[in-house]
A and B are shown apart, each in its own frame.
Chain A
Amino acid sequence: MSDHDAVEAHASEPHGPITRVGEMPEPGNHEHSAHGPGQHSHGGVGKYLLVFVALCFLTTMSFLTFTSYWPWRNEPHVGWAFMMAVSCTKAMLVVLFFMHVFWEANWKYVLTIPAAMMAIFLALMLVPDIGLRNRMVSQERALYMARPSDVRLMEQAGESQLLTNPTTH
């Protein structure tokens, strides 16, 4: 850039490159306007409250598995599947509406689709770890860890009459 400097010595102060903003693609955020991204009008508050009600309802649903109204108490897997479905729905609601992703441009797919692929892959990769966990326990862990027989022992101790029953108050 030295020849520029030589020339600029005669001209006014040296300039860097002049920049000019190109055109923003179609669903652009109009950052320069005073109103901010006006993707949705001010009536969006009603939408947020609706999402809030839905979230409260879903939280109550997931809490339902803890109460006596839950019919599948003897099949915990049903409860787990239900709770995960509820959690994913709540997460989708928060991400889409509170985090504004519903109204964002196509870059959201660039972010979310590989993340979803990774998440599914991660879950699948963890399955063998769960299955093989007890067969590959270290010696120290085996020394200290509890087994179902210990749980039965504690239950028997609780039911035994060796000492008078603990007072309940």
Chain B
Amino acid sequence: MSTMNASAISMPQHQGHDHHGHGPVLQYQPGLPLTRGKLIMWLFLSTEIMFFAALLGAYVVLRFGASVWPKPHHVHLSEPIGAFNTFVLICSSVTIVLALEMARANKTTAAKLWMVATLLLGSLFLGVKGYEYAAKFEHGIYPWSPRSRVFEKPDLYYGSAVRARLGEPAMIDRLKELDDTPESQLTPEVVSARRRLAKVRQMVTNPDQQPFDLAVVADQVMPLPVEHATAVSHDGTETPVGEHGGGHTSGLNDTFPWLKLPAVIPGGTMWASTYFLLTGFHAVHVMVGLIVFTILLFYKLGPKRAGMIENAGLYWHFVDLVWIFLFPLLYLF
């Protein structure tokens, strides 16, 4: 069970038949004072460290080398949710360590319960991540085009994308339906938004369009509040936090969820790429860890299985470690 090196003792002598048909007597010396499984797990973790170091290095280079990077509230990033996720993963690290301790002390039921707790906390992490992703998708922030409705600046490409969206047959029908609804049936905010939407459509198709007009259009579609704006929470998706005013003012995309016009977030596309890459790969690693724990739950978690649990725990702690670095780099920087 230990990693061993074999050394044969004086081979030539035993070529004779002294031992009645036995081979040479080999004496194994242990190479390292740890089990094979643990050694392999550490070697695997070092490869995973290299993997995440590459991704994190790419993020650092792109983020600090970019001339423009979006503010967290521009991309609907919530730091408190990230902090909560960090706390959840730290708790799950504690529970897996306790599961190991229980297993070593031959308290199999307790070990199984702690393992279930780890599984639940890991699933909670994934659930919160899914909620965060849903919030991004709702605002058109996807990892890639053509899904992604984010443009870096309000230029001609942005204008033509807005026109293309407004010119879609389904959109034309809905816009006509919206225009035909009498004012009495709509709330004042919707009436005001409808008026602004009509102005936006006019500005976007205007042949005498000024460069500034598209910026105004973009601001109407999805406003990018400045830090000291006293924005109020909207529809429950974001809540104001700290001094950053995490809530956001309502743009046309928020008032009319079916509108889905392209939006401008300077630096947003690069942000989306790195964010989804890093958190996506991390989430995949979390899922693999959860699968391992699910499989382990089918075993009797006594001292004989302590090695297996320890190795699974090593992997899980590594996943926690990566998140410990990801959280400040993605959310707080």
Q: What is the interface of chain A, defined by CB distance below 8 A to chain B?
A: 1, 3-4, 7-8, 10-12, 14-22, 24-25, 27-29, 31, 34-36, 42, 44-45, 48-49, 52, 55-56, 59, 62-63, 65-68, 76, 79-80, 83-84, 86-87, 90-91, 94-95, 98-100, 104-105, 107, 111, 115, 119, 122, 126, 129-134, 144-148, 150-151, 153-158, 160, 162-164, 166-169
Taking CB atoms, residues of chain A closer than 8 Å to B299 are: none
The answer to whether A151 and B68 have CB atoms under 8 Å apart is yes
Q: How far is the CA of A56 from the CA of B324 in the complex (A)?
A: 11
Q: Which residue of A36, A144, A167 contacts B193 across the interface (Cβ within 8 Å)?
A: A167
The answer to whether B98 and A25 have CB atoms under 8 Å apart is no
Interface size class of B (residues with CB under 8 A): 35 or more
Q: Closest residue of chain A to B101, judged by CB?
A: A45
The answer to whether A80 and B333 have CB atoms under 8 Å apart is yes
Q: How far is the CA of A117 from the CA of B22 in the complex (A)?
A: 49
The answer to whether A166 and B49 have CB atoms under 8 Å apart is no
The answer to whether A87 and B67 have CB atoms under 8 Å apart is no
Q: How far is the CA of A65 from the CA of B327 in the complex (A)?
A: 13
Q: What's the nearest-Cβ distance from chain B to residue A31, in Å? A: 5
Q: What's the nearest-Cβ distance from chain A to residue B286, in Å? A: 15
Q: Which residue of A11, A145, A154, A162 contacts B218 across the interface (Cβ within 8 Å)?
A: A154
CB of B176 closer than 8 Å to a CB of A: no
19 contacting pairs across A/B (C-beta < 8 A) = A15-B23, A19-B26, A19-B27, A21-B28, A22-B30, A29-B2, A35-B303, A45-B98, A59-B86, A63-B332, A68-B242, A99-B314, A133-B62, A133-B65, A145-B152, A146-B153, A147-B67, A153-B211, A157-B215
Q: Which residue of B79, B195, B218 contacts A63 across the interface (Cβ within 8 Å)?
A: B79
The answer to whether A22 and B57 have CB atoms under 8 Å apart is no
Max count, chain B CB within 10 A of own CB: residue among A76, A99, A155: A99
Taking CB atoms, residues of chain B closer than 8 Å to A162 are: 216
The answer to whether A59 and B35 have CB atoms under 8 Å apart is no
Q: How far is the CA of A146 from the CA of B157 in the complex (A)?
A: 13
Q: How far is the CA of A97 from the CA of B20 in the complex (A)?
A: 52
Q: Closest residue of chain A to B304, judged by CB?
A: A34
Residues of B42-59 at the interface with A, using a CB-CB cut-off of 8 Å, are: 42, 46, 49, 53, 57
Q: Which residue of B32, B65, B231, B327 contacts A107 across the interface (Cβ within 8 Å)?
A: B32
Majority-rule SS of B interface residues: helix
The answer to whether A22 and B28 have CB atoms under 8 Å apart is yes
Q: Closest residue of chain B to A49, judged by CB?
A: B94
CB of B113 closer than 8 Å to a CB of A: no
Q: What's the nearest-Cβ distance from chain A to residue B291, in Å? A: 20
- New A-B contacts (15) at CB < 8 Å, excluding given A25-B33, A56-B90, A157-B219: A14-B21, A17-B26, A18-B22, A29-B34, A31-B2, A34-B106, A48-B97, A63-B83, A66-B79, A119-B53, A145-B152, A154-B264, A154-B266, A157-B216, A168-B234
Majority-rule SS of A interface residues: helix
Q: Which residue of B1, B303, B314, B333 contacts A83 across the interface (Cβ within 8 Å)?
A: B333
Q: Which residue of A4, A25, A168 contacts B231 across the interface (Cβ within 8 Å)?
A: A168
Taking CB atoms, residues of chain A closer than 8 Å to B333 are: 76, 79-80, 83
Q: What's the nearest-Cβ distance from chain A to residue B84, in Å? A: 10
The answer to whether A17 and B215 have CB atoms under 8 Å apart is no
Taking CB atoms, residues of chain A closer than 8 Å to B216 are: 157, 160, 162-163
Taking CB atoms, residues of chain B closer than 8 Å to A145 are: 67-68, 152-153, 270
Taking CB atoms, residues of chain B closer than 8 Å to A169 are: 189, 232, 234, 250
Residues of B216-240 at the interface with A, using a CB-CB cut-off of 8 Å, are: 216, 218-220, 223-226, 231-232, 234
The answer to whether A18 and B28 have CB atoms under 8 Å apart is no
Q: Which residue of B33, B60, B98 contacts A105 across the interface (Cβ within 8 Å)?
A: B33
Residues of B233-284 at the interface with A, using a CB-CB cut-off of 8 Å, are: 234, 242-244, 249-251, 264, 266-270
CB of B118 closer than 8 Å to a CB of A: no
Q: How far is the CA of A24 from the CA of B28 in the complex (A)?
A: 10
A80-B333, A126-B60 given as contacts; is B328 within 8 A of A158 (CB)? no
